[in-house]
Structure 1
Amino acid sequence: MVEKYKVITLCGSTKFKTEFLQVQKELTLKGNIVISVGLFGHADGDYENIITTDIKIMLDDMHKRKIDMADEIFVINKGGYIGKSTKSEIDYAIKIGKKVNYLE
């Protein structure tokens, strides 16, 4: 069975790890290919330990490449929160013509 699956990249603050995992599960079970973050820097406390300025720049650029691969993005905006990096990703997605959906 070969289908045409929609590809969705998740965007949002990595402090919302629980929400990312729940949305990833729900979207996958609906028949979507889901691309997510590589790590949860805020939720897992990695920002204090391993996230240097250069790594942050690299991760932000990698996430934009994930947006390039997607048909649309899904923003994890718990409580309406959208931080600077997420805002940049939304703006980029809109600029290149991707559909944007929101958790809230």
Structure 2
Amino acid sequence: MKIITVCGSLKFKNKIMQITEQMTLQGNCMLSIIYPTIQTIHTYNKADKDLFGDMHKERIRLSDAILVVNIDNYIGESTQSEIEFAQSLGKEVIYFTDL
């Protein structure tokens, strides 16, 4: 069993949720993105956005690997920084397009 943090753009929320479910059914412990429920991500204040980012980095620290959901090879700025952070920690980086 691997502990894997999911990374990717929130515009692919439904696909990310499907992939996370599939990877869980394959026996992986999946740590997922926090999806905004009350507001869109753009309406949160800077402190809240920073907290989301910090907690996502903590999930990456706890993980064996990250799974980058890169639909149509799209990797946004935030996801790219998460990839770089994971690599700096020596974490395995798995791309959805590789599965």
TM-score, normalized by length of structure 2? 0.89
* TM-score using structure 1 length: 0.85
**Structure with bigger gyration radius:** 1
Deviation at 1:98, TM superposition (A): 0.3
- Letter of the structure 1 residue corresponding to residue 41 of structure 2: Y
Distance in 2 (CA, whole Å) between partners of 1:53 and 1:75 is: 24
Q: CA deviation at 1:15?
A: 1.2
Is 1:46 equivalent to 2:40 in the alignment? yes
Shift of 1:48: 4.3
Please identify which structure carries the higher helix content: 2
Of the three residues 3, 12, 17, the one matched with 2:13 is: 17
Counterparts of 1:52 and 1:40, CA distance in 2: 13
What amino acid is the match of 1:65? Answer: E
SS at match of 1:37: coil
Gaps of 5+ in 1: none
- Tell me which residue corresponds to 1:74: 67
Once residues 45 and 53 of structure 1 are traced to their aligned partners in structure 2, the CA distance between those partners, rounded to angstroms, is 14
Given that 1:8 and 1:72 are in contact with CA atoms closer than 8 Å, whether structure 2 keeps it comes out as yes
Q: Which runs of 5+ in 2 are unaligned?
A: none
SS of the residue corresponding to residue 15 of structure 1 reads helix
The Cα of 1:85 is off from its aligned counterpart by: 0.8
* Percent of residue pairs identical: 39
| 4+ residue segments displaced more than 3 Å | none
Matches within 5 A, 1:1-104: 5-40=1-36, 46-49=40-43, 51-104=44-97
